[in-house]
Structure 1
Amino acid sequence: MLLRRSKPAAAPDPLRRAARPSPKALVLMALAGALSLLSFAPFGWWPLQLLALAYFFYRVGVENTPRHGLLLGWAFGFGWSVAGMHWLYIAITRFGGLPAILGAIAIALLGLYMGLFGAFAGGVASWLRRKWSLSVSAFVLLVLPVTWGVSEWLRGWVFTGFPWAASGYAHNVSPLAGYAPIVGVYGVGLLAALCAGCLAMLTQRRRWRVLGLLGAVMAAGFGLKQVAWTHETGQPITLRLLQGDVRQDQKFDTAYLIEIVERYQALITAAPADLIATPETAIPVTPQQLPDSYLAALDAFVKQTGSKLLLGIPTADGATRYSNSVIALGPDSVAGAPPYRYDKAHLVPFGEFIPPGMRWFTDLMNIPLGDLTRGKSLQAPFPVKDQLVLPNICYEDAFGEEIAAQLRNAPKPATLLLNVSNLAWYGESVAIPQHLQISQMRSIETGRPMLRSTNNGATAIIDGRGQIVQQLPFYGRGVLSATVRGTEGLTPYIRFGNLAFLLLGGAMLAGAWFAGRRRARTSSMANSNG
């Protein structure tokens, strides 16, 4: 038996180990966490994630002390984070100018910080096991999945959040994706952890029961994937999604400015469409820094052709107030006063705003637009014929609860989502396919198609079930032309956000507590009768 049954708190615990795990155990745990990289895009081997989590649960279950759980969880979270987010090294060294050794130290420090959330999962779960006198099954199947899910939820908002590589994203193509419109990506991560717990329990005597539970969770998810939570609405619109493929080392170099703005002018005016969308900061200077004739020429084109243009451009509302924005030009626009503007609300620490006390670090790097103004949390969608398009910029689409809140609180919810991004910061790494996978999860959660216009990938159209309908090749210039139709209706996740996930976790913890009380009562009666 890999996992032994723990005795009640009153009895000696045969599973106590040394004061701390060995270095070998910590290294193996970090490697297990790093293995999770292969579960995400572009690899997509999501069963490996379940095996990695199962190993984590198994080791925490065997060690059976809060201190062991905390340290093992920290090592697991460190490996998970460094492997899943290693591409940040490219941005801070190649384009940020940080020396290689400092870049490596920065990524290691980020991994140590992210590892704290894994430490929370293992440490709190082990503490609850002792406090509640839990059996192995209650610990592995109820408590550990919840603390893992809550740790990822915390990682998504503490210090503005960094939810990249949350475990649920690996399951956009697995049966567990069926739960996403109900419990969101964190709920999918919790259920994935439950499945991992089932794998960790396969050495127990009642292995057929956990196999049945594993099969039931997967089967229910597959069944939920067949449910249509939203339906198409309005008339189709024609699209042109632009991918300019501007090199990152040239993007903010004034020597290349004329070439860049002329490139996008040519791409925009090559053909009309109901909606033409450019990537994030396709124009790398503010409207005030452009020749007056530039936006006027674009405005004349869209009015002549009946097109509508969403243009990625930084905007200035004062000498020190800059925003990462999308502005609109169209037949109903007024010269000099665009009728629509979306400002990025969830900014990237160090890249778009400087956390308190960290200016010394950003001063080491040479990243432009380093301290921007936040947009409003609720912003109106952009009308295109009878469709409503809600933009989000760069990694804003990693925050599903914020997009759900925009849809939930809007007087008239958007029918299409639009992500505009520039991931050239991260070279030819896994960042682009991972970001595409994140957008797919947003479509599954909301039942909305996601349109993506990016600098060098992934420019794509994703339908309301998270399937990629069309896509441009990465790392090349091009235009994705298509016809799309939006959807309407509110999924449970739009209506309630992460509430369903938190209620599920609360119910599982309540079940574990009751199971512990019952176990302690039974043990007490047995001792008194003895």
Structure 2
Amino acid sequence: MKQVLTPRLRLLAAFVCGLIAPFAFAPYGLWPLMPLSLLGLLLLLKPEQSGFKLGFCYGLGWFGYGIHWVHVSMAEFGGMPLIVSLALMALLVAYLALYPAFSCWLANKWQGPRRLTFFLLWFPACWLLGEWLRSWVLTGFPWLQPGYSQIDSPLSTIAPVLGLYGVTWLVLLSAASAALILVNEGKVRWVACLTIALPLVLGLTFKGVSWTQAQDSLKVALVQGNVPLDIKWLPQHRAASLVMYQQETAAIDNADVIVWPESAIAALEYEVIDFLHDLDGQLLNKQQALITGVIAHDLQNNQYYNALITLGQQTEEAGASSAYYYENPNRYYKNHLLPIGEFVPFEQLLRPLAPFFNLPMSSFNRGDTMQQNLEVKGHQWLAAICYEIAFGELLRPQFTPETDAIITVSNDAWFGTSIGPQQHLEIAQMRALEFGRPVVRSTNTGVTAIIDRFGNIQQRAPEYQQLTLTDDVTPATGITPYQRFGLWPVALIVLLGLASGLVQRIRQRKLQPAAND
């Protein structure tokens, strides 16, 4: 690639490399394509060409296909002309492409020959810095981080040790080592042959290691309501929806815990208080517990929350006849809200423009950053609503040694039959691996699934069907290294890589006067 490609062809090649990357993720699962995609980008990255443009073109391909499913919500439910929705989608893709553009721009600031230190320390550090920024700037959108693509690869066993970012680092190390082998000779090539084997060796070393201990299993039933979005929030449909969920639940006899999806009760909690009391009594009689999504309203402060509440749980405050009462503290309020979907920035300006900026229930308040786990059937459940499951560092502070399992609920009907819900499920698998806990995932239309503590999909339901998925869930105890140390090990790797670039820059400045003499 030294003299074959013109600058414009390099940009096109970078776009194609980015376009390959999404096929490493669910539902395709071709995990070797992620390091190969990054390898192609590394080979294209030359000092004489703009690293920013190259990374930007890579990002256009990566996110242009990888998150094209976002357009489904704009086109089908946003009430916008097609050209406007496509323009908004293009803006989102261009914004996300800025992060690989930044990483490549920074990588090209390296001075001097590009050998071991550049490939094995500097470039991975630059890329990880970009990924970290993407996870929190403007509330963050950490979708399609390279580590997620390795759920089915040998590298997945590193997730309980170093977390998602650690797996991403090993993907980068694999790509960088391969690039070293291709562009260097002699001892450098032999060192690269050793480092390219390191990720695989680490993966095999931790294969079969169980960081957490299994407890007695319990039976969990996940109700997939399959309620169409175009009628979900209509007041005239509310009764039919509640009856459907109640009937599905009444037919469940062999489950300890039942889970309904995000906002399964498409109403304010106080509006259906009688229904909740009746349902609570039925659950108590059958010695079952229910976790369900609902819209909570803090009457005192007039604030609204995307919430999970529990029913069928005996408490002293409620008395012997009922476990449920309004504003029972055994609940969870969503903290990380989705822009546009759950809150609208600059809402006075944007809401009048199109229905997309005025979706049902798009004026939520944030729940507290630190909240107690849900206590259900003697177990502690760490809760995450919708895309909160994509933020491991949001969940980690709320994780305690007593946390037994993770529950996540969602309504991915916004994205139709696209690849988005499959990617969402893959993200939940990573959280199971990181924390060594089973994940139960209840959704309106799919993908409803039960994931074991090793990140394997134990059971999954077909999409867009009204059904109940029932299986044993095995809670776990114990702490994984990732849960204990978080991002610190990877942060040290990044700092070491960035320091190598600084040292190289100082060294080159010292060499320049000597060369001029």
The match for 1:285 is: 267
The 2-side partners of 1:211 and 1:50 are apart by: 15
Aligned residue for 1:33?
18
1:392 aligns with 2:384: yes
Q: In structure 1, the residue corresponding to 2:156 is in which secondary structure?
A: helix
Unaligned runs of 5+ in 2: 319-323
| Deviations 1:74-111, CA, capped at 9 Å, x for gaps | 11122212211110100011012122111111111011
What's the counterpart of residue 347 of structure 1? 337
- Label 1:120 to 1:465 Cα distance change in 2 as closer, same or farther (>3 A): same
- Rounded to whole Å, the distance in 1 between the matches of 2:290 and 2:55 is 48
C-alpha displacement at 1:353, in angstroms?
1.0
Partners of 1:51 and 1:361 lie apart in 2 by: 43
* Runs of 4 or more consecutive aligned structure 1 residues displaced over 4 Å after TM superposition: 511-525
Number of the residue aligned with 2:364? 372
Could you tell me which of 32, 56, 61 is aligned with 1:79? 61
Distance in 2, Cα, partners of 1:186 & 1:220: 15
Matched, 1:144 2:129: no
Match of 1:156 in 2: 135
Cα pair 1:134 1:515 within 8 Å, conserved = no
Query: Which of 494, 508, 511 does residue 505 from structure 1 map onto?
Result: 494
- Cα distance in 2, alignment partners of residues 228 and 360 from structure 1: 50
Shift of 1:38: 0.3
How many residues are paired up?
502
Match of 1:476 among 465, 469, 489: 465
1:524 to partner: Cα distance = 8.0
1:363–1:252 CA distance, 2 compared to 1 (3 A): farther
Partner residue of 2:227 out of 233, 246, 249? 246
Of residues 176-185 and 273-282 in structure 1, the stretch that sits farther from structure 2 once superposed is 176-185
Is 1:178 matched with 2:167? no
Which whole-Å CA distance do the structure 1 matches of 2:169 and 2:207 have between them? Answer: 18
Q: TM-score under structure 2 normalisation?
A: 0.91
Amino acid at match of 1:114: L
Q: Give aligned-pair identity as a percent.
A: 34
Where does 1:90-101 land on structure 2 (aligned, <5 Å)?
Answer: 90-101=72-83
CA distance in 2 between partners of 1:362 and 1:436 (Å): 34
Name stretches of at least 5 consecutive residues in structure 1 with no aligned partner. 5-14
Query: 2: CA distance between counterparts of 1:472 and 1:109?
Result: 34
Could you tell which deviates more after superposition, 171-180 or 516-525?
A: 516-525
> Is the contact between residue 121 and residue 496 of structure 2 (CA under 8 Å) also seen in structure 1?
no
1:205 alignment partner, one of 146, 166, 185? 185
Aligned twin of 1:195: 174
2:180 counterpart letter in structure 1: M
AA at the equivalent of 1:184: G
The Cα of 1:493 is off from its aligned counterpart by 1.3
Residues 169-214 of structure 1, C-alpha deviation per residue, up to 9 Å, x if partnerless?
0011112212212221122112211111122223221434322211
Cα distance, 1:512 vs structure 2? 5.0
Aligned to 2:41: 56
Give the aligned residue type for 2:26: A
Residue 321 (structure 1) aligns with: 303
Alignment of 1:399-438 (within 5 A): 399-407=391-399, 410=400, 412-438=401-427
Deviations 1:416-444 (A, max 9, x none): 00011110000000011111100000011
Give the whole-Å Cα distance in 1 for the aligned partners of 2:511 and 2:348: 55
Match of 2:29 in 1: 44
Structure 2 residue aligned with 1:298: 279
CA contact (8 A) 1:459 1:471 kept: yes
In 2, are the aligned partners of 1:229 and 1:447 still within 8 Å (CA)? Answer: yes
Q: Partners of 1:102 and 1:466 in 2: how far apart? A: 39
Q: Compare 79-88 and 332-341 and name the one that shifted more.
A: 332-341
Maintained 8 Å contact 1:315/1:324: yes
Output aligned runs, 1:331-346, within 5 Å. Answer: 331-333=313-315, 334=318, 335-337=324-326, 338-346=328-336
Distance 1:231 1:520, change over 3 A: farther
**Is the contact made by 1:3 and 1:201 (CA closer than 8 Å) also made in structure 2?**
no
Alignment check: 8 A CA contact 2:344 2:350 kept: no
The equivalent of 1:10 in structure 2 is: none
The alpha-carbon distance between structure 1 residues 320 and 98, as it changes in their structure 2 partners (threshold 3 A), is farther
- Compared with structure 1, are the counterparts of its residues 381 and 83 closer, same or farther at alpha carbon in structure 2 (3 Å cutoff)? same
Asked whether the 8 Å contact 2:330–2:375 carries over to 1, the reply is no
**Counterpart among 455, 458, 461 of residue 450 in structure 2:** 461
Contact 2:69 2:419 (8 Å CA) reproduced: yes
**Letter of the aligned partner of 2:158 in structure 1?**
Y
Q: In structure 1, what is the Cα distance between the partners aligned to 2:209 and 2:325?
A: 46
Match of 1:228 in 2: 210
The CA distance in 2 between the partners of 1:303 and 1:327, in whole Å, is 15
Deviation per CA, 1:135-156: give whole Å up to 9, x if none: 3332222211111111111100
Moved more, 477-486 or 335-344: 335-344
| Counterpart residue number, 1:11 | none
State the Cα deviation string for residues 388-433 of structure 1 (Å, max 9, x = none). Answer: 11111001000011111211xx4x5311000111100000000111
Distance 1:354 1:510 in 2: 40
Secondary structure at 2:403 match in 1: coil
For the Cα contact (< 8 Å) 1:57–1:197, is it kept in 2? yes
Partner AA of 1:144 in structure 2:
F
Structure 2 residue 90 is the aligned partner of structure 1 residue 108: yes
TM-score by length of 1: 0.89
Superposed displacement of residue 26, structure 1? 2.5
Q: Aligned to 2:482, which of 473, 493, 503?
A: 493
Deviation at 1:520, TM superposition (A): 7.4
Q: CA deviation at 1:268?
A: 1.8
Across the aligned residues of Structure 1 and Structure 2, the Cα RMSD in angstroms comes to 2.4
SS at match of 1:188: helix
Quick check: 1:217 aligned with 2:202? no
Instruction: Tell me how far apart the structure 2 counterparts of residues 149 and 30 of structure 1 sit (CA, whole Å).
Output: 20
Between the aligned partners of 2:80 and 2:314, the Cα distance in structure 1 is 46
Against the structure 1 CA distance between its residues 355 and 225, is the aligned structure 2 distance closer, same or farther, given a 3 Å change threshold? Answer: farther
> For the residues of structure 2 that align with 1:252 and 1:490, how far apart are their CA atoms?
41
Distance apart, 1:282 and its partner CA: 0.6
Taking the aligned partners of 2:349 and 2:464, their CA distance within structure 1 comes to 33
